[in-house]
Amino acid sequence: MKVSILPDKTEVLTFSQAINQALSDAMFLNPKVVCFGLGATDPKRIFGTTTLLKEKFGKERVWDVPCSENGLTGVAIGMALMGHPTILTHQRVDFMLLSFDQLINNAAKWSFMFGQKIDLPLTIRAMIGQGWGQGPTHSQTLVSTLMTVPGLRVIAPSTPQDAYSSLFQAIQLPEPVIVLEHRWLHDSKGTVDSSLKLIPKTRKRRSGGSMTVVAYSYLINQCLLAANFLSQFGIELEIFDICDLNNIDFSLIASSTRETKNLLFVDMDNSKSSISNSFMTTVLAKVNNIDRWKIISYPNTPVPTSHLLAKHYYIDSYSIAQEVIELLGIDINEDELKPLISRFDDVPSDAFRGPF
């Protein structure tokens, strides 16, 4: 079946709308693409990311599912092997734990076991992040856990453009890709150019000479907020976004670090298992003249349910700014950082309407 080529366009979209657009474009261009997941056709359509897909492409290509993650992942793998690029969505990454047998022992290993001669075009979307007292079993990120599995590619976009480009390209790839979407990004807005359809490489999001800062997903936004605020004190952060977590340009980060002589990794995983430990080692091996370096990540405890405790658990622009001035040894009064303190404990803004 031949389909017409979609015209490229540039428009302002929310993160959710960008994901929806990527799904729609991929399904329009390839009639074999299928999309399913818990809530895919319910009234809220997984944060609005699957809005109108069933109406556009029919129930044979877009459908809701029962709670059976391991079985559904097996179905997704089977469909992908039969030539259907398959998109499976989990409303929380925590639910994906039930599918680890299929994900790790089948999806991640299949191409290797058959000499890279068999494609497995499987894209798994999973939501990460906090909100409304989701607690220990509904707020995990599991980034490091997923990154340790050879054969899985992990992507964590931070902007609507990255969300669109990453997801569209992931659907085209002959390998299993995990796309991690932070819930607090879904309402963020940005310009999306649909002609840009490649997974973003490691790139500089802000220039500065005081310190090199590396982050991904929602924490990129928090780093940028902290950087813009600290600039009034003469502190200029150089910020790198590592969206494609399996393909980081460490040479680019090392080059920046040689200039700033200060390096900070900001990670949304637990401190003990943080991927930043190996990332930091890789960069430090390339840089000889570094003055200061540090990793900031979540505490090595489960996520607390109480919002009063959670606000001391998560990383935000305020805590990033604190770490920067402490690392640089600059004397800035705590009161001067108060504008960075959010009045929200476990929601991003007044617009947040819950995990579903």
What's 264's domain CATH number?
3.40.50.920
The answer to whether residues 239 and 151 belong to one domain is no
Cα dist. 79→24, 30, 293 in Å? 19, 14, 46
> What is the pLDDT at residue 3?
44
Q: What is the DSSP letter of 251?
A: H
Domain tally, the chain: 2
Divide the 356 residues of the chain into consecutive groups of 10 and give the mean pLDDT of each group. 67 96 97 95 91 96 94 96 97 94 96 94 94 84 93 97 97 97 93 94 97 97 96 96 96 97 95 88 93 94 87 91 94 85 73 64
CA 334: distance to chain centroid? 31
Residues 143 and 21 in one domain: yes
- Output the pLDDT for position 354: 64
The answer on 93 and 63 residing in a single domain is yes
Looking up residue 17, the CATH number of its domain turns out to be: 3.40.50.970
| Residue 87 included in any domain | yes
What pLDDT is attached to residue 2? 39
CB 182 within 8 A of CB 166: no
- Domain membership of residue 356 (yes or no) is no
Single out the residue of 130, 66, 74, 79 nearest to residue 310, CA to CA: 130
Clarify whether residues 162 and 286 are in a common domain: no
Question: Domain for residue 37, yes or no?
Answer: yes
Active site residues: 138
User: Is 349 contained in some domain?
Assistant: no
Q: Is residue 354 part of a domain?
A: no
Please tell me whether residues 217 and 330 are part of one structural domain: yes
Same domain, 105 and 211: no
Give Cα 40 to chain centroid, integer Å: 20
**Of 273, 19, 62, nearest to 170 (Cα)?**
19
Q: Which two three-digit tokens encode residue 180?
A: 């991690």
User: 179 and 33 in one domain?
Assistant: yes
Answer yes or no: do 15 and 158 share one domain: yes
- The whole-number pLDDT of residue 99 equals 96
Residue 2 lies in a domain: no
State the residue range of the domain holding 26: 10-193
Same domain membership, residue 182 and residue 208: no
Q: Is residue 306, in this structure, part of any structural domain at all?
A: yes
Task: Label the pairing between strands 10-14 and 189-193.
Answer: antiparallel
